[in-house]
Amino acid sequence: MQYVVLAALVSTHVLDAVAASAIGAAAGAVVNYWLNHRFTFRSDKAHRVAAPRFFVVAAAGIALTGVLMAIFTHGFRMPWLAAQCVTTACLLALTYTINSAWAFRSVERDV
């Protein structure tokens, strides 16, 4: 979802890569919550508990996405798609680890 939104906004010259990536990350977070809860983590945590935690992590990820995209596209003059790939690689392990340990952690481990 993030890459589709990013590509659509950048290729139509609606937004620059930094803003488009952040909007794409926000759109992707909505889809990713459901996929992560259901498939990735097979969580038994109630949505009223998991969703707020997930979206706190997602908000931090969106902010870091903007920072990294600005550094890569403006500072290092990387093409936007390459910058997004590097940004994704940097943030994927971090957000996965936090979501695994906090947002979607099994109820059994909470006790």
The pLDDT tens digits for 33-89 are: 999 999 999 999 999 999 999 999 999 999 999 999 999 999 999 999 999 999 999
Burial bucket for residue 69 (CB in 10 Å: 0-12, 13-18, 19+): buried
pLDDT in tens, 1-23: 999 999 999 999 999 999 999 99
Question: Confidence band (pLDDT; 50, 70, 90) for 106?
Answer: confident
Q: What angle do helix axes 2-11 and 17-35 make, rounded to 10 degrees?
A: 160
pLDDT in tens, 46-58: 999 999 999 999 9
Q: What is the pLDDT of residue 107?
A: 64
Does the predicted model carry a pTM greater than 0.85? yes
Domain ranges of the chain: 2-110
Contacts of 39 by beta carbon, 8 Å cutoff, 6+ apart = none
